Each structure stands twice: as C-alpha cells, then as structure tokens.
Homo-oligomer: A and B are copies of this chain.
Amino acid sequence: MESRPLRYFVAVAQELNFARAAERLGIASPPLSRAIRKLEAELGVTLFERTTHSVALTPAGEVLLTEARIALDALDAAGRRARRAADPEPKLVLAVKADADAGLLDPILAGYAADPASRPVSLRLCGWGEHTRLLREGHADAALLYEPFDHTGLDAETVTTERRVAALSAAHPLARRDSLSLADVTSGPPGEVDQFVDEVAARHRVRDLPQLLKLVELGDLVTLLPESVPARYPRPGIAYRPVPDAPPAVLAVAWPQQSRSTATAALVRAATSLRGA
C-alpha cells in the first residue's frame, strides 16, 4: 500500500467529486480516476458507489477514510518529528488555545523552567479543537486543552478540574438568581454538557473567548464556562453565576503517545504537579 493513492482517495472521499478532488490535488481527473480504480483492485474492495452524477462512500470506504487519515497524519508527523529531532537547540512546542488554560499556563511554564530536563518553550496558539491535530501531525510536543477531545494516538493527564459558571447577560431574568441549575442553561438532555458548550461556540461561528463574551453581553446566548474565566474577564454587562450541578471542566495536558522525550515528560510533570495546589 503506497501513500499517494491513499492521499488521492482521501481527497475524493472528502469532496465526493472526482473533478474537484483532482483540482485540489493539482492533477487532472483521469489519473485520479485510474489511481482510485487501481487502489480498489489492490484492495479487492469497492470504495465508492459511483453513478455519473453522484459519488458515495461504501462501508469499506468509510473505514478506509478514517484509517487513511490516521496513517497519513502519522506519515506527516514522522517527517516533521525527524526534522525537529535534528535541531541542535530543540524547543518544546506547547499548543494552547488563548484563555483555555485555567490561568495555569504561567505557573506551569515557571515550574517547567525549573526542571533540569526542560527546554526553551515555544507557544503555539491554536483554535477550537486544533490541539489534537497539531499533536498528531508532529507540529507540537504537548498541548494544554479542555476535555473532551479525541484521545486517539495521544496520552493525557488531568491538570485541574474546575466548577462551571454560567455566563449570561446582566439583563437576563436568570441573572437575578445567585445560583443556577444545569437545566436552566442547557435546556437539553443532561449529561451532554461538553457537547453543549462546543455547539454553542460552533453555532455562532465564534473563534475566541472575547467574541463569545460579546455575544453573551448582547443577550444572544447563555453558555457555561470554567470558573477561572470571570476573574480574568470581568464584564459589567455580564453576570457569572455558579452552576453547582454542572459537571466540572477538566483541563488536561496531552502529548503524542509514542513520545519518549524527557523534555515533554518534564512538562507533564510540571503541569500535573499543580494538581495538589
């Protein structure tokens, strides 16, 4: 199994259209069509159900898509990590989303710097759910992120857990109460709080916390945040109210499972050693 046909396959599977996929790959349609047929022949499996005006994945194709993404990520990561291993002054790259650190980034870095195995740290700021991709593709050595996330190929340790607060407009009727319950906020089935939080952000096309808070201030939405946020983002127009029955927010440090780096291990030590504090 070669990697190039697999890249072609992923492109087609994403576009579900040979012409567009070919364009994205920078080749013409015919070679692409043949490459896919050859791949199907090699595997002895039909990957796409094609009619002239529609392309759909077969069950085998679905499986290959998820597996192929993993394999191709690993391939990219291999090259990138080898390159970085040749760096005479290797930096430790830590992926963090702005403000998604429970205020612990500085103490973690301070504790890390004191470790003899530590290295200079390069922060890689990233957005929603990018952490895991950066780790899997070899762009980052470690990441600081909130659960839940896809643990595939990663190891992780909990850094801290926080209670949640609801953020709502100061003018909102619920703001008059001192404390809220989960049902007041999510209005959905319980136990899906993490999904709820992600969906709120995704639905409004919000990419960072200040934007989200702006929408809250305008009364457009109510959301749940870790309790470390209010102290760092006081807003006159926003009321933060505890939600005692909401499950806690879990901040974790994650790293590629196969990592054998002592520098990464030291960072994990530094991050987890704050749990007691």
Q: Which residues of A contact B (CB under 8 A)?
A: 1-4, 6, 42-47, 58-64, 66-68, 70-71, 74-79, 81-83, 85-86, 138, 151-153, 257-258, 260
CB distance A75 to B78 under 8 Å? no
5 closest A-B pairs by beta carbon, nearest first, are A67-B78, A64-B82, A71-B74, A3-B3, A63-B85
**With the chains together, A45 CA to B86 CA distance in Å?**
6
CB distance B1 to A76 under 8 Å? yes
CB distance B82 to A45 under 8 Å? yes
Summarize A's interface: helix, strand, loop or mixed.
helix
Q: List 6 A-B contacts (CB under 8 A).
A: A44-B83, A45-B82, A70-B78, A71-B75, A74-B74, A151-B257
CB distance B59 to A67 under 8 Å? no
Residues of B close to A70: CB separation below 8 A: 74, 78, 258
**With the chains together, A68 CA to B82 CA distance in Å?**
10
CB distance A75 to B152 under 8 Å? no
CB distance A6 to B59 under 8 Å? no
Chain B residue with Cβ nearest A59: B85
Residues of B close to A44: CB separation below 8 A: 83, 86
| Known pairs A63-B81, A71-B77, A74-B74 / 10 extra A-B pairs, C-beta < 8 Å | A43-B79, A45-B83, A45-B86, A59-B86, A63-B82, A63-B85, A67-B82, A67-B138, A67-B258, A153-B257
Residues of B close to A45: CB separation below 8 A: 82-83, 85-86
Given known contacts A1-B3, A3-B2, A82-B45, is B71 in contact with A258 (CB within 8 Å)?
A: no
State which of B43, B79, B81, B152 has its C-beta within 8 Å of the C-beta of A82: B43
Chain B residue with Cβ nearest A2: B3
Given known contacts A67-B82, A67-B258, is B6 in contact with A75 (CB within 8 Å)?
A: yes
**With the chains together, A258 CA to B152 CA distance in Å?**
6
Given known contacts A1-B76, A2-B3, A75-B6, is B151 in contact with A82 (CB within 8 Å)?
A: no
Most-contacted residue by chain B among A45, A81, A85 (CB, 10 A): A85
Chain B residue with Cβ nearest A77: B67
Residues of B close to A76: CB separation below 8 A: 1
CB distance A152 to B257 under 8 Å? yes
CB distance B1 to A75 under 8 Å? yes
CB distance B4 to A66 under 8 Å? no
